[in-house]
Structure 1
C-alpha cells in the first residue's frame, strides 16, 4: 500500500498534520478552491523566494497564511514593505483580513519540494539531469538525511521514447508509518517536452505521540514560542543510572 500512495497523505493524522486548518460547513467547496487559489498565487508571485509549504488557517473574520521559505528576506522586503503588499493582494482574493506569518527553512536540502524545484530549474537551464540529481542527493545526505530517492520521467536527453530513471541512496521505508518521509512532484519544461521529477526524503522515525499542529518540527524561535520541536516525539524520563524511571511512567 505504501508503495503506491502519496507518503504525505498516507501519514496524515499519524505523524503529519494538515496544511489547511478550518471548518467549512456548507461553504467547504468555495473555501477549498480559495485555498488553492491562494497557494497558486503565492508560488507564482514569490517564485524566487524558495517557498515550500503554505499553511492556511481560518476563523470567522481572519485568514492566517503561514509561509515556509528558505529566503525570508525576499518576502519581507525592506522595512516589511513587500509583505505588506502581499497582505493587501491576498485581501482582494479572500475579502477578509489576512495575517501573514513567515518561517525560515533552516535546511532546504531536506525539503522535498525545494529539492524537486531546484532540480527542475537546473534541467531547464540545460544542466545534465544526472549531475543535478546526484548533487541534490549528496547535499541531502550531508545534512544527515537517512535516505533520498529521486525519479525522473520524460524524454531524457532528448530521446525519441520517454523513459523513467531512478536514483536512490539510503533507505526509504514507505510502508512504515512512523517514518518521517517528505515527498514532492515537480515539472521541468524543456524544448523536448515536459519532465516529471518525484522526490522522497527520509528524515528519521517518530516514536511516541506527535503534535500534529501546522508548526510541528519548527523550533521555538521559528514558531514564535508555539509548538516547540517535537520531531522526536515524547521521551521517557530517565533516572540517574540512565534507565527509564518506572515511577514516572504514565
Structure 2
C-alpha cells in the first residue's frame, strides 16, 4: 500500500532548499544539529503569537545568522526594537557565538501551509468545529490564488472516544511531480480530549527550480530551418520561380494495368472495293456408313 512521502524532503535540491545551511565535520555535526533543534523550539514558544512560518539558520565563520519568516514582523521586533534585542541576546547565549537576526515578512499568510495549520489548531483549542475551521481555511487559500489545497486532521475529533482521520481537498495537489511547488506544514492542537494533529498541503503551481530559470532556451531565428517557403515568399515568385516548376513530369504508372503492347489486326479490303473474295472452307464431320451386319464400311 502506497504511503505519502514528505513533500519538502522529496523536493530538496530540486525546487526546495534546506532550512539549516552550514557545514561541519563529523565530530561537530550532531552537536550543531541539536543546537538548531533547540533554537527552533525556543523560537516557537517565544514567538507563539507572531505567526512564524519558517526559521532559517546559517552559520558563517564563527557567527550565526537567523532569518525569521513571520506574517507579523511587528510582534517580533517589539516596541523600539526591545524584543528583538532580548531575542538576540538569548540566542547568543545558547549558541555561544554572535547572532544576527533578520526578519522577512510573509506577504500572503493564506497560502503558507505552516500558518494555515497553526490557525486551524488555534481554532480547535478554542472548541471550534474542525470541519468549519478546515473549510474556511480552504476557501481563503483558493481565493488567494492557490491551485489546490489538502487539509488532514487526526485524533479525537469533536471529543469522540475513538480517534479517526478526516481530510478535505479542493483543486489538485500533485504528490509525485517534482516541478510542482507544494508547500507542506504541520501543527498540533492540545485539547482537553487529547492531541489533534493537522497537516496541510498547498499547491501553488509548477516551478522550474529554485532559480526559476528557463528550462530549454529557444532556438534563434537563424538556426531555424523552414521545411517549406512561407506563404508570402511563394506569392512573390510566380510562374517558373515557384519551387518545382523546372521539374519534368514523369508519366504516372497505374498499378494493375497491363503494359504489354496489343497487336493490331490488319484491316482487309471488302468485296465492294474490288477485292477478290476469299473462299471460305468449312470442315464437315465424316459420316461412317454401316451395313446390315452392323459393320462399318
Please give the TM-score of this superposition, normalised by the length of structure 2: 0.71
Structure having the larger proportion of residues in strand: 1
| In the alignment, structure 1 residue 234 sits paired with structure 2 residue 213 | yes
| Structure-2 separation of matches of 1:246 and 1:237 | 12
Counterpart position of 1:222: none
- How far the C-alpha of 1:21 sits from its partner, in A, is 0.4
CA apart distance, 1:59: 1.8
- Work out whether residues 2 and 10 of structure 1, in 8 Å CA contact, stay in contact via their aligned partners in 2: no
Tell me the distance in 2 between the aligned counterparts of 1:248 and 1:30.
58
Q: Is the 8 A contact 1:2 1:174 kept in 2?
A: no
Matched residues in 2 for 1:158 and 1:22: separation? 44
Gaps of 5+ in 2: 224-297
| CA-to-aligned-CA distance 1:181-238 (integer Å, 9 cap, x gap) | 111121111111111111100011012x423xxxxxxxxxxxxxxxxxxxxx124899
Q: CA deviation at 1:78?
A: 2.0
* Whole-angstrom CA distance in 2 between matches of 1:189 and 1:141: 28
Residues 164-179 of structure 1 aligned to structure 2 (within 5 Å): 164-179=165-180
Q: Could you say what the CA RMSD is over the residues aligned between the two structures, in angstroms?
A: 2.0
Q: Which structure 1 segments of 5+ residues have no match?
A: 212-232, 239-243
Instruction: Tell me which residue corresponds to 2:5.
Output: 5
**2:181 aligned with 1:180, yes or no?**
yes
Structure 1: how far apart are the matches of 2:125 and 2:201? 21
Distance 1:237 1:178, change over 3 A: closer
SS in 1 for 2:139: helix
Runs of 4+ deviating beyond 6 Å:
none
Equivalent-residue separation in structure 2 for 1:170 and 1:246 (angstroms): 38
Q: Pairwise mapping of residues 1-250 of structure 1 onto structure 2 (< 5 A)? A: 3-25=3-25, 26-207=27-208, 209-211=209-211, 233-235=212-214, 244=218, 246=220
Task: Name the CA distance, whole Å, in 1 between partners of 2:155 and 2:70.
Answer: 29
